[in-house]
Structure formats: C-alpha cells, structure tokens
Structure 1
C-alpha cells in the first residue's frame, strides 16, 4: 500500500515507491484516497422531495442521493447571493473576512483583500495533493479562476437559452421570467454539463479525482421544456403561505436591504393571476435540473469509481417564492439562506438526517478530512465528520450568513437572530413561528436569547472589497459606489 507521505509528495513519491511500478502505484493511490464528485445547484431552496419543502416537488434523483448519504436539513449559505456564497465556500473564508459581499469576477477573488490573497481554492487544494481536477458549468460565480482546475468544460454566457421576447416579466435588470422554453432538454446548458461530467466518469483516471458540476437551473429565467411544466399543472399547485403585512414589524433597514424593485412582488403576482404560474416555473426548473443530476449519478453508479467516490450536493443559497412579498434571494431570512446539503462518503452508512445547523463554509474542511488530506489551517468552517458519523452528535455551534458589511443572521436549531449594521434587530423563534412572521426581538422574554446569539456574530467585518460589486437594489448600489466598484448583477 502506498503511504500517505508518498502521496502528498506528488510526483516525487513515485521515486520512493520501491518495487511498485507506476501503474501499481496509481492503483494503490486510487484505493486509499477517495474521489470527490461535487454537484452544485444554483438558487435551490428546500423544494425537493427529501426535504418536504413543497408537497408538489418531484426530485427522484436528489431524493435517491439523500437516501444514500446524510441530508442536512438546517444547512445555510455564507451569503444569500451567488458570488459571495461560492467565493466563501471555495476559499474556506467567510465574507466578513474577505470583504466579498457582492459578485466578484473569478480571477479577482484573491485580489479582494490581503486575507483572500493567501487563500487556496478547494479545487487547487486537491490538485496540490495529487488529485486530477475537472469542472464544468457554474462552479464559482462565472466559470472557474484561471488555472484552478486541470480540465474545464466551460459554461454558456448568461442563463439561456432565451426566447425572442420574455413571456411575462420583462425588466432588463433581472433574468426573471417564466414559461416553457425551449423544446428539448438537449438545448439546455445543464444537459450538456451533465453529459460532460458523465463522460469524464467513464474515462480511465490514473489518480484520484475531484470533479465539480455546476448547474444553472433553477436560477431564473424559469424556462425549461414544456414536459417539465406539464409535470406540475398550475391549477393543482400548493402556494406558499403569504402574510400581507409581514414586514410591518421589521426595522427600516431590513426593508431597504431587501428591496428588489426589478423582481415581481407577491402582491403583483396575486393581482395578476401569476402566483401559481411562478410556482410552476420554479418547480419545473427544479425537476429539470434533478433529471440532469440523475444523468451524473447514473454515470457514477455504472462506473468503476462507484465504491470509492464521495458525492456532495449543495445549493448556493435559498430563494423566496412569494414569502415575504418577494420572488428573490438576497435577504437574511430563512428562505434565502437555507439550502439543501447532502454528503455521501465513499463508505456511507446509508440514509441519515441531521437537523443541526451547518454552513456551506463547512464543506471545505469536511471534504479534506473525508479524503485523508492534511488540514488547511486557514479554513474557517467546521469539519462535519462527527455529524456524518452520528447525525445527532452534540453540536453547540451556530451558523452565520452575511449580506453586506456588518449585516448578519445567526441560525441555531431553534432561533434566527438578525443584526444589521445600524444595530437594528430581528429574532424569530422557529418552535412557534416557522414562517418568521413574528419578530420577537423587542419582547422582554427573549432578551437573554438575543445576548447569547449575539456572541456568534463575527468579530471581524472587513470593508467592502473594491473588487466585489452588486447593483441589485438602491441600498447595495450605494454601497457599491462607496466601495468604488461597479457592475451589473
């Protein structure tokens, strides 16, 4: 058996492998070190069957993976927006450390600030330790940073294909629209990405691999072929509960931070008879991407790597589909921060469910440990291996989500505490209020709870990196101008 030291020496280890031929050495290497297959889904909330997030959800392939590994039902993004969420996960650093609060070009991540400059991307870390690395689709925010993987299959620009004219919603500041388009699955970029990774899984690899596939749907526009809409007849769909005066008890800054005028509101959707149609479009998009995930899972199961590959699936953040009068991400409420996370180690115990609060930031150290690699000491996340061994393992940690400088949400098993940069607060008790309709931050009985939760807030709040940008609403447009950056969502 090849020693771990030899593996970590990379090519130099071959010279110390003694009588082993190069072929035998690589065979031993592949047996000792697991492969990694990472599936990333854009804008995916809990509307998957395994999470019981929506009664009309149809996701047999995600559900299949959930039955084979550990499903984390209380997983949250480091940021409720694609760019900073992915940058955080891939660097192992929180947004409050890097100052990456908005979108950022992939090649600019390490130029964000001094701490980001010393980060090693997750793909690079595995590559550094002898892995072949491959990626396709949206893995970081746009593509992948230059030189961060051995083989990149690319991604289409934008989130098309697009019809000649939008079907319903036409605002140039957003991709939001819904309706059946195009005609066939093979016209969709995610279909191509799935087959690209599937083909890689069918190849012979002479050393362990780390492969990542980033799917675009259900990111808007909610355009997928008609058969996926037909799977979810609009007239039969459950519509999420909506409270018209939901925001009356939140501070003014919360309304400013979460004001997204380019998106439809729930009031508009109800008045124009579009609420169920939007729900249909989102569910159809989720079912479509689930089918693409199935292509990849089938390829893995039929490959020689099936028994020695860790599989992880995650969404980069959640999404409001009508809750709190919005169809958007970009808030610090539960709907925008919570997302599915499934981890299936090579030697999985089978189906497990953990309700402990975990972060996507925890993925980096967890995968490093699963694969037997040395720790990256700069990682700010926590290794989830204890919860993979026992999903009910004592876990006193909280999860932090950040949206802009010094705006944070702290999530435990029971509470969500939000503090904004002006000191304004929100607090929700999920034991009695899963919809977060009642802000109890000012109620006397919860003062000690707030004090305890506030201890989890970051002690460092890096200034906005001039390399990150966001113009999604007036509040963040002002922040962008202050930071000296510019750009479109």
Structure 2
C-alpha cells in the first residue's frame, strides 16, 4: 500500500508554477516537485469554487451528484475517500481548510488541524511541524497514511494588501511570516485576460507574493516527508482548487477558472520530468487514482477514471476528447448556473442565468482589480465593454482556445463556426443527460428557442 500526500493551494492559477509557464522565481519548491514527477498542463477542477471543488475531489462525484453545489455539506449516504482508506488501515489527517469538507465528522479524520493553529493557514513552519508529527505517528503505528495538506494561500487577503491589514488583527498577523520572496508591481506581467493597469499590477504582485508563501508551505511539508524516510513509498499530488480570485477566473467557467497545476510524483510509477500537454484531465480522476495506489477496488459509479494509464506516456492511451466544468453558487450563495465543455481547440459556455438584466457579483470582484476596471471604463471603451460583459454575459460563449486562450472574443454568433457551436451544444446536452444534471430540460428548451 502506498502512502498518499495530497497538497492543495487555495486559488492558485493553473499557469503559475514554472513548468506551467509561470513567472520565474514564484514557485521553486513546486518546480522541483514537478521535475521529479509528471506534470499535467491540461488538468481542470469540476467547479471553480473552493468547497464544491474539494467535495468533488473527495467523493469522486460531480457537485450536483454529491450535493455540495455550494458551501453546504455533501448529501447523506455519499461515500468519501476516507471510508475506503480507513478500511485499509490508513491513518488520515488534514491540515487547513477543514470546514471546506462537510459534514466534518463524516470524513472521520484521525488528525485535523485548522487555520488558527497553522498561522491563519499561512505559516509554512507550522504545516511542517504538524506534518512531521503525523508521519511520526504513522511510523510508530506501522500504518500507511493519507495526509491532505491545504494551504490557505494564495487566497485573499493577499500579502501586503490593505485588506490583509483590515481582515486580520495585529495578533493574527504575527502568527505567520512574510513570503520568502515579495514581488513588486514593476516586475510582474499581468495575465492577458486582465487589463494592464497600475492597480491591477499592484494586486497581482501581492497575489504572487502569497503564491510564493504557498510554495514555502509546499517546501516545508515535502521536507517533513523527506525526514520521515517514506518519500519513496509515497504518492505526492499537488493541485489548486481553482484559478485566481480575480475577474474572469475564480467562480466562473473560463479556461483560467478551472485550469489547475496538477503534479504527480510517484516513484516507480510517474515518470520524472514528464510533461503531459495533450490529455484533458479532471481532478475527479484522482479518487480512482488514489484507490489504485492504496490497492482498493474502485467503487462503481464514480465520475472520473484512474490516471495510471496516462503515466505510461502521453498519447499511449485513448483519453477523453472533451471535458466539462460547472458552476452553481458563490460563497454568498448567489446562483449563477454555468456549464462549459471544451476540447483541444474550442471552449463553449452556457450561462443559464444570463437574461440581460441579472448582474453577476462574486468574491473575484473584491479588491483593486475590479474597481480599477470600473474606473477606467469611464474613459476607455474597450474596458467598458469588457466590464459590462462580465456583469451580464451572454447566454452562450464560444472561444477559440488556441488563438484566444484568454477568452477575450466571444465567437458564439460567428456564422463560420455554427457547426462547432452545434457540436458543443450536443456534447453538453449529452453530458447533462448522462450525469442527471437538473438543468437538462431547461437547456434543451433554450436550444429549441435559438434561431436555426
């Protein structure tokens, strides 16, 4: 039986670590981890918001199938990974984000440590200490183990921001250190889906500084694993629960909403230094992969498939041609139903909520970036169009992900792409039917009302 170390970030963009095309110096520990394992550059979470993403991971089921569409517990009777691991004798532990897997008692952790004891989820040394103690216990008891280490970085409040000073008290800020590297506005390159404005640069630099402290936490946990002597018998998985908490990312269905920097280091199974840039992977695939690592028969009815065939090398296994992602509800419990289907070339989004009047509002609009966009929209027509579109959307969006990975140009009404649009509509309707999506009839009705 293989030990399993699952390390997660909160809100880390899928293009941030070096092997995913990110900025130099942002993630040295993740870069080293990737060099010793396999990188999946086209991996996505099912839903780009914290609790639904994590609940899907730990149940192997879509949010509408496990009950956690927003910040609520999974339904009664839904199986969780911990059930299977405990039956195999695994010691289980969680560091951080404990309340984002509910009901908490349903997961039955042997060790659970939440944010206060971890320096508001931002103290790398605290993560290292608790990880080391957990591994010592597993060794003393002669048991395999599963540890889920969840950094609260780079979630807001970002390092050095005014929000950080107002959100955390002086005493709370003393519980965690500054990142090992702090970025400045003049050294960052703003992602292409955001306007390059001074306030955006400032906030993105603060975000990258929090990213670096998340990487410091990854390093501390990996160091504890190395000291335990169990690294060669351990599957290490790293991912983010979704994209960055800025407009057109988190709490949406865009490419940078659900893209996650997935890394697997599995001595003897995952080739070191391998980069898979072609296969569409879902974090729903991790549940059956963990089952395989633990020698557990994969339960019937899961929504993912084991990644082990892909570890033999890209292109050697027929994989999925398209991938679906969803969105249901914000942390404030506002419903903005969205569905997305994408393949190697195109991404299609259906916004069930977009009626021309309803305005979108979510956490990604807090802080400097959205306010800067609104201010600039008063004098810049392109930014006004962009911000207006973000508020109301269109019922359908279609993007050429090869030519336009930042999803700046909605092609849903382009006559030359009518066949592509129809293909994506059919693929989404099929998926909704196969998974029992409760909005299937509404979607079918919308399609019938669209002009031929």
TM-score (norm 2): 0.74
Look up the SS of the partner of 1:62 in the other structure.
helix
Look up the SS of the partner of 1:302 in the other structure.
helix
Tell me the CA shift for residue 59 of structure 1. Answer: 0.6
**Which of 254, 264, 284 is the aligned partner of 1:343?**
264
Please tell me the root mean square deviation across aligned C-alpha atoms, in Å: 2.7
| Bigger shift: residues 448-457 or 362-371 | 448-457
**Which of 84, 87, 105 is the aligned partner of 1:128?**
87
Decide whether the 8 Å contact of 1:46 with 1:53 is kept in 2. Answer: no
Tell me the CA shift for residue 450 of structure 1. Answer: 2.6
Look up the SS of the partner of 2:126 in the other structure.
helix
Tell me the CA shift for residue 275 of structure 1. Answer: 1.9
**Residue equivalent to 1:79:** 47
**Which of 297, 306, 331 is the aligned partner of 1:374?**
297
Look up the SS of the partner of 1:123 in the other structure.
helix
**Structure with the largest fraction of helix:** 2
Tell me the CA shift for residue 340 of structure 1. Answer: 1.0
**Which of 427, 432, 435 is the aligned partner of 1:458?**
432
**Residue equivalent to 2:338:** 407
Summarize deviations over 1:214-247 as a string: whole Å, max 9, x none.
1100010013778538532322222223576xxx
- Does residue 236 (structure 1) correspond to residue 187 (structure 2)? The answer is yes
Tell me the CA shift for residue 286 of structure 1. Answer: 0.7
Q: What is the CA–CA distance in structure 2 between the aligned matches of 1:440 and 1:158, rounded to whole Å?
A: 49
Summarize deviations over 1:191-216 as a string: whole Å, max 9, x none.
42332113322442412111111110
Q: What is the CA–CA distance in structure 1 between the aligned matches of 2:22 and 2:201, rounded to whole Å?
A: 13
Decide whether the 8 Å contact of 2:122 with 2:153 is kept in 1. Answer: no
The unaligned stretches of length 5 or more in structure 2 are 161-175, 329-335, 355-394, 440-452
Decide whether the 8 Å contact of 2:398 with 2:421 is kept in 1. Answer: yes
**Which of 71, 74, 93 is the aligned partner of 1:109?**
74
Decide whether the 8 Å contact of 2:128 with 2:223 is kept in 1. Answer: no
Decide whether the 8 Å contact of 2:248 with 2:256 is kept in 1. Answer: no
Summarize deviations over 1:148-190 as a string: whole Å, max 9, x none.
23422321369975xxxxxxxxxxxxxxxxxxxxxxxxx9445
Summarize deviations over 1:108-153 as a string: whole Å, max 9, x none.
322xxxxxx3321112221122212122211561677215234223
Summarize deviations over 1:350-392 as a string: whole Å, max 9, x none.
1111121111111101111233210111311122111112123
**Which of 182, 188, 201 is the aligned partner of 1:276?**
201
Tell me the CA shift for residue 285 of structure 1. Answer: 0.5
**Which of 438, 441, 448 is the aligned partner of 2:412?**
441
Q: What is the CA–CA distance in structure 1 between the aligned matches of 2:118 and 2:101, rounded to whole Å?
A: 11
Decide whether the 8 Å contact of 1:48 with 1:54 is kept in 2. Answer: yes
Q: What is the CA–CA distance in structure 1 between the aligned matches of 2:2 and 2:99, rounded to whole Å?
A: 23
Change (3 A) 1:156 1:61: same
**Residue equivalent to 1:332:** 253
**Which of 398, 402, 416 is the aligned partner of 1:427?**
398
Q: What is the CA–CA distance in structure 2 between the aligned matches of 1:38 and 1:414, rounded to whole Å?
A: 31
Look up the SS of the partner of 2:105 in the other structure.
coil
Q: What is the CA–CA distance in structure 1 between the aligned matches of 2:180 and 2:225, rounded to whole Å?
A: 28
Decide whether the 8 Å contact of 1:428 with 1:436 is kept in 2. Answer: yes
- Does residue 287 (structure 1) correspond to residue 212 (structure 2)? The answer is yes
**Residue equivalent to 1:148:** 107
**Count of aligned pairs between the two proteins:** 367
Q: What is the CA–CA distance in structure 1 between the aligned matches of 2:99 and 2:288, rounded to whole Å?
A: 18
**Which of 50, 67, 81 is the aligned partner of 2:35?**
67
Tell me the CA shift for residue 83 of structure 1. Answer: 1.3
Q: What is the CA–CA distance in structure 2 between the aligned matches of 1:302 and 1:160, rounded to whole Å?
A: 22
The unaligned stretches of length 5 or more in structure 1 are 1-32, 111-116, 162-186, 245-265, 464-489
Q: What is the CA–CA distance in structure 2 between the aligned matches of 1:285 and 1:191, rounded to whole Å?
A: 15
Q: What is the CA–CA distance in structure 2 between the aligned matches of 1:52 and 1:344, rounded to whole Å?
A: 16
**Residue equivalent to 2:311:** 388
Look up the SS of the partner of 1:407 in the other structure.
strand
**Residue equivalent to 2:132:** 198
Larger RCO (CA under 8 A, 6+ residues apart):
1
**Residue equivalent to 2:226:** 301
Change (3 A) 1:190 1:410: farther
Q: What is the CA–CA distance in structure 1 between the aligned matches of 2:70 and 2:39, rounded to whole Å?
A: 28
Look up the SS of the partner of 1:341 in the other structure.
strand
**Residue equivalent to 2:374:** none
Change (3 A) 1:442 1:119: same
| Bigger shift: residues 402-411 or 34-43 | 402-411
